[in-house]
Amino acid sequence: MKEELLAPISKRDVEKAYDLVIVGSGIAGLIAAYYAPKKSKIALFSKDALQESNTYYAQGGIAVALNPDDSPELHYKDTISVGAGFNEEKIVKIVVEEGIERVKDLIKMGIKFDKNNGLSFTREAAHSRRRIIHAHGDATGCEVATVLIEIIKQRDNIDIYENHMLLDILSNENKAYGATFLDVKTKKIKIFLSKYLILATGGAGQIYLHTTNPLTATGDGIAAAYRAGARVMDLEFYQFHPTSLDIDLTQRFLISEAVRGEGAYLLNSYGERFMLNYHPLAELAPRDIVTRAIFLEMLETQNKIYLDLRPIGERKIKERFPTIYKKCLEYGIDITRELVPVSPAAHYFMGGVETDEFGRTSLKNLYACGEVACTGLHGANRLASNSLLEGLVFGKRCIDAISNDNPSENNLNLKEFTLIKKEYPLEKIKEKMLHLKNVMWEKVGIMRDEENLNKAKDTIEKFLEEFQNIFINDKTFFEFKNMLLVSYLIVNSALLRKESRGSHFRIDYPTSKDEWKKHIIWEKEKEVIYCEINSLPSFKKNC
């Protein structure tokens, strides 16, 4: 799929030059900023306020093998098991081992994890040990983000740009040299030049009708990287969290997996515990299995599914899950006494911009970390609470790489780029965006098949053609374009993978096949690339 820049550019749009531009203010971007050399001139960009990220809303915690009865080897095995035999084993080993030191760094920074004669650990689905550390019960992400943001704000060498949406990564001869942003408040388009760029823009949950992701998660980083020529990988693997609060919200409220780790049960509308019918681990089965079980149970009963937290006990619920308790009360549900209606929602993108073990991408000077990146850690299905750990490890690893890599010098040739500017009713864009979200949910969601995937592809291609080379200076339009591109790549990947594996389930190909133990990789204007798992990144060899 050929895509040009989202917005027109000219030399007069250049605002400033930096040593390093970091895009994104979740844990990966903040950690990169924290470890970045203090002598470097750095810019940190966030699409909204700094705290508006998936990290901030993360409830469960950080998986780390610090419990006396745990080990990196056990953490490694659990990650591989849940990843459906699709993880990059070298990456898993790096994360479970280095993650221990990174978490210790967080504690030194002043982040207050819950304690009970030492760190307090909980268990989540598919973990063989209690290894998830948490803060303020169920507000881990909020604590981590808040402390990191305060530290970053005190750094004299870091300029912070809030309410700046990434539009495009500027590249020349396979080298990135800057990025274009929309100042959301003024609608001014700005160019920032940089020796290095780190993408930490998070996921793309808003392409689906139901998601736990904030409104900012529209796939901007993946789309911008692809347009610039970077390779993207494993886009068919999108994880749906089994238990979001079943109330119609643009951002679904997540009911943390930790509640099941502490003893909550899933019940159907007849009051029956049904998970043992689907997996011996019942409520603690891997997420993809729990999600599909809830989906099928809802279809069979034509009714709601509920979480019963009452076995946990009122006192423990209020101490361990204060955020969930208060939020549900806002909607008239007392989780200490009543059943909580839940349903699946799009939650985490295992796919993303292809990187090596230091966050390098196929574009020189461009690095990626966190959810926007695809390191291969998660395989086909993410183990609960491994995402914050990955952001921690790779945020620093990107900085380690930059400290050792010499920037590839660019023959800076910022060419004027024009687009047809059109007047188009914003309400019409919003209608089409809602249509896209419905199509993705119904036809490219928890259960997939060739007929529905092709119907989705047809719809997306019509939208892409309609808005080809059109420029509307509005954040909603730019988000819609990014959502279309990411959706197009997801659909094509899902069509190619003729098997079921992890979060990618095709009812017309319901089993996993060894011949499909290979990554599906896309590069702009190139044929699809297939690359065996547990090998070098595609851009470091011939796949």
Longest dimension (CA), the chain: 68
Question: Residue 480 corresponds to which amino acid?
Answer: F
Radius of gyration of the chain (CA): 22
Q: Give yes or no for a contact between 390 and 370, defined as CB atoms under 8 angstroms apart.
A: yes
Q: Count Cα atoms within 13 angstroms, Cβ side, for 475.
A: 18
Phi, psi of 153 (to 5 degrees): -60, -20
Q: Which one from 287, 320, 497, 501 is the annotated catalytic residue?
A: 287
Q: Is the dihedral of CA 292, 293, 296, 302 positive or negative?
A: negative
Q: Give yes or no for a contact between 395 and 32, defined as CB atoms under 8 angstroms apart.
A: yes
Name the token pair of 355. 């990187």
Q: Give yes or no for a contact between 242 and 291, defined as CB atoms under 8 angstroms apart.
A: yes
The whole-angstrom separation of Cα 460 and Cα 480 is: 11
Please identify which residue in the block is written with the tokens 């990220």.
53
The whole-angstrom separation of Cα 484 and Cα 478 is: 10
528 class by beta-carbon count within 10 Å (0-12 exposed, 13-18 middle, 19+ buried): exposed
Q: Give yes or no for a contact between 55 and 216, defined as CB atoms under 8 angstroms apart.
A: no
Question: Which H or E run contains 92?
Answer: helix 89-109
The neighbouring-strand residues paired with 132 are 63, 122
Please identify which residue in the block is written with the tokens 């808040």.
146
Please identify which residue in the block is written with the tokens 């993650």.
99
**Closest to 162 measured CA to CA, from 323, 301, 53:** 53
Determine whether 287 is an active site residue. Answer: yes
C-alpha distances (whole Å) from 376 to each of 33, 49, 205, 249, 264 are 23, 30, 19, 31, 31
416 class by beta-carbon count within 10 Å (0-12 exposed, 13-18 middle, 19+ buried): exposed
Q: Give yes or no for a contact between 474 and 429, defined as CB atoms under 8 angstroms apart.
A: yes
**Closest to 371 measured CA to CA, from 29, 3, 75:** 29
> Which residues neighbour 322 within 8 Å (Cβ) at sequence distance 6 or greater?
136, 137, 138, 139
Instruction: Give me the active site residues, please.
Output: 287
